[in-house]
Amino acid sequence: MSGGVDSAVAAARAVEAGHDVVGVHLALSRAGGTLRAGSRGCCTIEDAMDARRAADKLGIPFYVWDFSERFRDDVIEDFVSEYRAGRTPNPCMRCNEKIKFAALLERAIELGFDAVCTGHYATLIDTPDGRELHRASDAAKDQSYVLGVLTEAQLAHTYFPLGSTPSKAVVRAEAEERGLSVAQKPDSHDICFIPDGDTRGWLAERVGAETGDILDRSGAVVGRHEGAHAFTVGQRRGLQLGVPASDGKPRFVLEVRPVNNTVVVGPKEALACAEISGDRFTWAGRAPADTTFACHAQIRAHAEPVPAIATLADGVLTVRPDDPFDGVAPGQTAVLYDGTRVIGQFTIARTVSAVAAFGVAERRGFGLGRTGAPASVLPSRDLLPSGRAPSQPRGGCRGPCLSWIRDRARPASRPHPRRSAHRSGRSDRADRRGA
């Protein structure tokens, strides 16, 4: 019980369903005096008290379990080390993976409980082939993406009472009817262990701020920065470039190089990504029957899923979208879907640009897993072998550029994937600002 309205109503529904319910609040902060500021932060003193009041109202036992040390090691330190390496982690994924459905579930099973019940918006379906994780009924609140790290064994011991709820308004109304004081409590946003929202400042204290160069794709210095850790792929704001682009258009972060403390920028179309891969993957339930399969890939919590073809070979999972991804950062999590069902997930370690550099697709390695390789900077002018500039409609390289790359990158034995119309969704604000 986090102290919010979702977990309170989830607990109430579990009690109403006849389960033997015990409320547990996770103490994750090492700072005992941490206070909540509006919608910022979670797992604070106020949150613990709100959770206790909800448990008292429901007539269930309530405990606070101290997982702060585990949270520090598995989530906070991982967050810092990933940024130090030039990657963009998702701490919510790590928390679900390492804390809520690992440390918490392990202790619960040891104490004789059957499952962990949470207020996440997702649906579980039991089938002859095992339990499946599906999207929630309310697409706006669906949280299946951040639950993509759950394994088959963990899914067998989970319970999501809110998954079939049509909207958050229904949950709040139900809380009001039950007399729960958190009925109108605002949802928490941003990163819970950075309650003031200043991710750049927080990282600077732990990683250190060192001035470095901002380069364009030709290698020319176009600006200076005070720490490469403050940037992530796809970021536009906060660059403060001293040299304007030749075409007058905004420039975006294309690459972060922590080894030499440099940041590479370029036009938006250069963010188009034709392939992603990684070797840190898990399956949410049964594994795919084939090593190559069609799916939809989602690379951010609030991004639109993209039709794609996934291939598992030599311990590496590779995904090629029908239409390019936009601004993929190393360290992000890609979650694969079959309709509403979550297939599994992996941490992105390597990308292949959809923009042709003199007829060669740029491969960017990010040193994550055994697929990492040094990155290269695209020349200032990206041309096809014919010398003709690729067409660049809104949303990235979708014309002859991408077709040319696919025709040469696709194995002869694999048929051409069916293309479908897709409109890319906007990424999370936190993703773009380096959070």
Let me know: does 224 contact 214? Beta carbons within 8 Å.
yes
Helix, strand, coil percent content, the chain, rounded in steps of 5: 25, 25, 50
Number of neighbouring beta carbons within 10 Å of residue 326: 23
The token duo for 368 is 């994550």
The CA dihedral of 281, 284, 287, 292, to the nearest 10 degrees, is -60
The token duo for 391 is 């067409």
List 92, 192, 273, 401, catalytic entry: 192
- 42 catalytic per annotation: no
DSSP conformational letter for 96: I
The dihedral sign for the CA sequence 175, 177, 181, 186: positive
User: b/e per residue, 80-104, with b = 16+ CB within 10 A?
Assistant: bebbebbbbbbbbbbbbbbbbbbbb
Q: Please report the beta strands in 118-236, taking only residues with DSSP state E, as ranges in sequence order.
A: 122-127, 130-135, 158-159, 212-215, 221-225
What residue has token string 């379990």?
65
Let me know: does 262 contact 301? Beta carbons within 8 Å.
no
The token duo for 265 is 């920028």
The token duo for 220 is 């020319």
Let me know: does 229 contact 258? Beta carbons within 8 Å.
yes
**Alpha helix stretches (DSSP H) within 179-292:** 199-207
Q: Please report the beta strands in 73-187, taking only residues with DSSP state E, as ranges in sequence order.
A: 116-117, 122-127, 130-135, 158-159
The token duo for 302 is 């609030």
List 43, 92, 95, 273, catalytic entry: 95
Those residues with Cβ within 8 angstroms of residue 350's Cβ, 6 or more apart along the chain or in another chain: 276, 277, 278, 330, 363, 364, 365, 366, 368, 371, 372, 373
The dihedral sign for the CA sequence 266, 269, 275, 280: positive
- 397 catalytic per annotation: no
Angle at which helices 5-16 and 45-58 cross, to 10°: 20
Q: In one letter, which amino acid is 204?
A: A
Catalytic residues: 95, 192
